[in-house]
Every structure is written in structure tokens, then in C-alpha cells.
């Protein structure tokens, strides 16, 4: 059978031209399609570790890099490439690489772009494992890290040194939803010659595009909202070609690459990302407003509320406020635990970015590695509860939290 290769190549080129002017919702569905000679409509999974060459000369050219094309799936894989092209298009980046996890994305970025003697300033208010990666592991290799509260940009400026190579932050922060001014951080990074790396896990490109505000690199835990249904672990690094090719070089050599199956799940997840993020945001805003009116609730943290100090900035910088909120219940750990244990529908798990809503007590789980003193400095008190709001009907989520509140009596 002769396969109409040329025809498909022509169609794909026309598609690429058409997509150059397309909206993000279209890119989420159409970007990065590598249709094979079979003409399949849905993206296939290329479950292959290696690739064959037409001749010994071609093999040599592939290995030397003279000829583009696949060699081995630690380097490149068509399904992973679909995910990479799609997430790059959504973030507005020149290039992306998929990684085995969100932590692998952060590690690969650091290993590719830092060296012994470099200095990093990292937000105090990042994912706990990220703090550990910088403080415990990179420190061993001579990368020095200064940790600064997310909102204290003056302290970031004071912490700068000639050898500062990277500023690393997450916005909005977990679990208090503090919002950093990305354009101001990008200016700080430019003035100091450091790279600004933003973990865009909580907003995803559907709500916030850090590269368009001047960040150099976006990292993702695809495990969260990009998958959106809690199935696979993965990550991504997005940015300028010159930076991402360094990260790809690290991945090729050191191996924390994304699996084709996981890439396929993420490709499918991205197709519904903007719809899901809008729905997560709508549910979370309604739940936050309701929580604010409950007598047993001392305070609610959600940037969509006018009462939140980051509200105006978030309204400018994000297109919606995302799916994660937290609140302080009147009392201490005992009341928080009783409330959590009293719920039935919410899943008691630390994961987020799922259609299923989750509830967690940060002080004794996600932030338990911090000392009591560090927790009080960061506002993670014993009566704080975080809810990652899913896509169930919001009235059922209210009723479930009401069950938790009833358990306090
Ligand atoms: C979960 C998470 C990570 C780590 O991602 P994994 O896929 O679990 O390795 C990094 N940053 C943030 C903000 C996260 O929520």
C-alpha cells in the first residue's frame, strides 16, 4: 500500500498557517497534532522506545543531529511532542519540554540553567517539595538559595547578588492565594540579569500567561489542572528556544522524560482546560462567598473575594481566580480536623486540580515539614483548611461543608 505522505504533509502545513492566528481555546484542541499516514482523527499514542531508520546513513545523520527526527524516546516521542507543542502554544512560549513530573520540570530547569556558585532567590510560599529541592539537594551542589516571602518584593531586591541567576515563584500561592505582581518581578529579573521562573500550576495558561508578562520560563505540574482528572503524573517547562533546548539537553542525558501514555492523557486534558478552569473558578468563587457568611468561619482566603488583599492585582493579571481556596475555622486543630472528618463528598487528599473536590489540613500535611514558628510566619495556622474546588454541583459542596460544620457542635 502506498501511503499518501505528501498529502498529509500539505494538510498539516495549511493547518499550521491557520492556527497561527487562532485563539487559545482553538490551540488547546488543535495545536500539536501529528497526524500519521493512517489519518486518525484523535491523537494516537506512540508506545515505542526507539525508532527505525531507512539506512545506515540516515541512522548516522539522526545520531549526529544533521537530520531531524526521532531516535529514542528518552530524547523525543511524537505523543510527547504533541503535548509539548500544545502547552507551548497555550503559554505563548517558543518551545516546551514534557517531564516525568512537576518536580522533574523544576529539577531539569535548575540542572540545565544553574551551576555551582550561582545564587537563587525562591519564594518562601512555594510547594513544599520545591523548597526541599532547593534547600536540601541543590544546596549540596553549591547553589545557594535565599528564601523570601512572596509579597515582599523589596526583600527580593535586597537579596540580589551579582551571582543571582534565578528568581523562582508561584502565584497565586498555596494555600493562602497570595498574588505576586509578575510584571514587577520580570522587571526585577531583567534589571539583575537573573531568569524569572514561574510555577503556573494553580492558574494554568487558561487563566494566566507569565511569559507574556515578562517571565523567562514557566514550569508546570501537569499532574494537576492540565490532566484535570487526577490520573497521571507529569510536568512541563516552557520558554524561549535558547533556554528550553538546554533543558531538553539535560532530559536527554539524565532521563526524567514524560511517558507517551501520560502525554496522551495531558493532550486530551488540555482540550477541555479553559472550560474546566472557568468552571473551577466559578464554583470556587461561589463557595468562597458562601464561606464568608458562615458563623463558624473566621476568614476566607480566595483572590476572587473583594476582601482579599490580592484581589485587584489578580483581577488584572488573571482572567479568573482559579479553583483553590482556604479558610480559617473558629478554633484550632481539633475543630479543623473535626470539620474535615465530618465531610463526606470532599476527598481527604492533598492533590488538587481534579474534577473531584479535595479538602486538606495544611499544617499537619502539606506544610507539616515547617516548624510551628515558620508556619505562624507564613499564616498556615492550625485552624486553616484548604479546599481545591472541583466540578461537582456547588450546592452539594456547600451541603458537605455544612456536614463538617455540624460536626463541630
Ligand atoms: C504538585 C505541585 C508540584 C509538583 O508536581 P508533581 O507533578 O507532583 O511532581 C509543583 N508545584 C506545584 C505548585 C504543585 O502543586
356: cell is: 473531584
Return d(Cα 117, Cα 353) in angstroms, integer.
36
Q: Is 20 exposed, middle or buried (0-12, 13-18, 19+ CB in 10 A)?
A: exposed
Q: Is 64 exposed, middle or buried (0-12, 13-18, 19+ CB in 10 A)?
A: exposed
Pocket around ligand 1 at a 6 A CB cut-off = 101-103, 127, 130, 170, 174, 199, 201, 221, 223-224, 233, 235
Instruction: State residue 191's pLDDT score.
Output: 97
Return d(Cα 341, Cα 317) in angstroms, integer.
36
Distance 124 CA to ligand 1 centre (A): 15
Per-residue pLDDT reduced to its tens digit, 287-337: 999 999 999 999 999 999 999 999 999 999 999 999 999 999 999 999 999
Instruction: State residue 368's pLDDT score.
Output: 87
pLDDT in tens, the chain (409 residues): 344 444 445 567 788 888 888 999 999 999 998 889 999 999 999 999 999 999 999 999 999 989 989 999 999 999 999 999 999 999 999 999 999 999 999 999 999 999 999 999 999 999 989 999 999 999 999 999 999 999 999 999 999 999 999 999 999 999 999 999 999 999 999 999 999 999 999 999 999 999 999 999 999 999 999 999 999 999 999 999 999 999 999 999 999 999 999 999 999 999 999 999 999 999 999 999 999 999 999 999 999 999 999 999 999 999 999 999 999 999 999 999 999 999 999 999 989 999 999 999 999 998 888 888 888 888 899 999 999 999 999 999 999 999 999 999 8
Q: What's the whole-model pTM score? A: 0.95
Instruction: State residue 73's pLDDT score.
Output: 96
Query: CATH code for 274-406?
Result: 3.90.1150.10
Report domain extents, the chain.
Answer: 42-270, 274-406
Q: For ligand 1, atom 5, name the residue with the nearest CA.
A: 102
Per-residue pLDDT reduced to its tens digit, 345-364: 999 998 999 999 999 999 99
Instruction: State residue 11's pLDDT score.
Output: 60
Instruction: State residue 13's pLDDT score.
Output: 78
Q: For ligand 1, atom 4, name the residue with the nearest CA.
A: 102
Distance 278 CA to ligand 1 centre (A): 21
Distance 26 CA to ligand 1 centre (A): 26
DSSP assignment of 264-312 equals HHHHHHHHTHHHHHHHHHHHHHHHHHHHHT-TTEEEEE-TTSTTSTTHH
How many CB atoms are located within 10 Å of the residue 408 CB? 15
27: cell is: 490551540
Distance 93 CA to ligand 1 centre (A): 20
CA distances from 334 to 32, 105, 341, 347, 384 (A): 50, 37, 10, 19, 11
At 395, give phi and psi (nearest 5°): -65, -35
Instruction: State residue 324's pLDDT score.
Output: 98
Query: CATH code for 42-270?
Result: 3.40.640.10
Amino acid at each position: 500500500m502506498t501511503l499518501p505522505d505528501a498529502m498529509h504533509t500539505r494538510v498539516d502545513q495549511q493547518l499550521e498557517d491557520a492556527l497561527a492566528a487562532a485563539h487559545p481555546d482553538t490551540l488547546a484542541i488543535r495545536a500539536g497534532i501529528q497526524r500519521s499516514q493512517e489519518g486518525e482523527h484523535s491523537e494516537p499514542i506512540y508506545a515505542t522506545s526507539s525508532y527505525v531508520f531507512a539506512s545506515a546513513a540516515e541512522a548516522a545523520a539522526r545520531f549526529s543531529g544533521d537530520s531531524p527526527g526521532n531516535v529514542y524516546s528518552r530524547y523525543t516521542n511524537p505523543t510527547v511532542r504533541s503535548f509539548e507543542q500544545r502547552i507551548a502554544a497555550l503559554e505563548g512560549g517558543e518551545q516546551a519540554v514534557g517531564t516525568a513530573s512537576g518536580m522533574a520540570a523544576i529539577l531539569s530547569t535548575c540542572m540545565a540553567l544553574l551551576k555551582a556558585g550561582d545564587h537563587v532567590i525562591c519564594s518562601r510560599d512555594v510547594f513544599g517539595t520545591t523548597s526541599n529541592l532547593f534547600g536540601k539537594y541543590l544546596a549540596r551542589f553549591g547553589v545557594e538559595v535565599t528564601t523570601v516571602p512572596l509579597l515582599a518584593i523589596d526583600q527580593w531586591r535586597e537579596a540580589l547578588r551579582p551571582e543571582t541567576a534565578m528568581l523562582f515563584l508561584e502565584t497565586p500561592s498555596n494555600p493562602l492565594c497570595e498574588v505576586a505582581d509578575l510584571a514587577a518581578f520580570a522587571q526585577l529579573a531583567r534589571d539583575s540579569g537573573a531568569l524569572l521562573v514561574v510555577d503556573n500550576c494553580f492558574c494554568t495558561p487558561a487563566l494566566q500567561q507569565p511569559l507574556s508578562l515578562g517571565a523567562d520560563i514557566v514550569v508546570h505540574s501537569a499532574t494537576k489542572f492540565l490532566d484535570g482528572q487526577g490520573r497521571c503524573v507529569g510536568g512541563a517547562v516552557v520558554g524561549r528556544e535558547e533556554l528550553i533546548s538546554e533543558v531538553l539537553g539535560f532530559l536527554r542525558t539524565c532521563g526524567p522524560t514524560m511517558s507517551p501514555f501520560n502525554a496522551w492523557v495531558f493532550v486530551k486534558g488540555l482540550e477541555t482546560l479553559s472550560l474546566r478552569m472557568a468552571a473551577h473558578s466559578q464554583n470556587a468563587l461561589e463557595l468562597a462567598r458562601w464561606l464568608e457568611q458562615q458563623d463558624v468561619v473566621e476568614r476566607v482566603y480566595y483572590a476572587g473575594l473583594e476582601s482579599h488583599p490580592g484581589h485587584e492585582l489578580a483581577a488584572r493579571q488573571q482572567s479568573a481566580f482559579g479553583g483553590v481556596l482556604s479558610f480559617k475555622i473558629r478554633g484550632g486543630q481539633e475543630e479543623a480536623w473535626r470539620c474535615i472528618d465530618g465531610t463526606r463528598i470532599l476527598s481527604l487528599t492533598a492533590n488538587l486540580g481534579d474534577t473531584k473536590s479535595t479538602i486538606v489540613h495544611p499544617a499537619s500535611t502539606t506544610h507539616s515539614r515547617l516548624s510551628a514558628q515558620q508556619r505562624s510566619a507564613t499564616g498556615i495556622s492550625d485552624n486553616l483548611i484548604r479546599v481545591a474546588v472541583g466540578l461537582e454541583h456547588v450546592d452539594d459542596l456547600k451541603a458537605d461543608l455544612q456536614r463538617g460544620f455540624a460536626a463541630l457542635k
